Amino acid sequence: MLLTVIKAITSLALIFLATFIAKRYSVVAGMISVMPIVGLLILIWTYVENRGAQSAMVNLTRGAMIGLIPTAIFYAAAFITFSRGMNIMPVLILSFAAWGVSAAIIFHIIR
């Protein structure tokens, strides 16, 4: 239970930090949002919860590496749609659709 509370507080703190910084430095906040800080937390929590099991760590990092491509496509779609003056809801719908399609294609290829 304590680990769950620590995980939640740490994760929320990072989100609040990024949104606080975004008020003055949106580019810095954008960089923070894609930094491997979240990945670091996930690596640590996975390591602790799986008692350092190498297979769990290999599988997690493999999935993260594969997920980089759809994530880049998500942000590219968001950048393009925001640049064209779209509001948040169409941007999110199109960006997540682009992520989902690219993730499905990649998943199909690696299967």
pLDDT by position in tens, the chain (length 111) = 888 898 889 888 888 888 888 889 888 888 877 777 778 888 998 999 999 999 999 999 999 999 999 999 999 999 999 999 999 999 999 999 999 999 999 999 988
- Which two tokens mark 91? 């941007």
User: 93: domain range?
Assistant: 61-111
- Which two tokens mark 83? 């640049």
Our count of domains for the chain comes to 2
Same domain, 4 and 38: yes
Same domain, 45 and 65: no
- Which two tokens mark 34? 């894609």
Same domain, 65 and 111: yes
Same domain, 2 and 22: yes
In a domain, 32, yes or no: yes
In a domain, 36, yes or no: yes
- Can you give the pTM of this predicted structure? 0.76
In a domain, 55, yes or no: no
Cβ distance 107 to 86 under 8 Å?
Answer: no
Same domain, 45 and 81: no
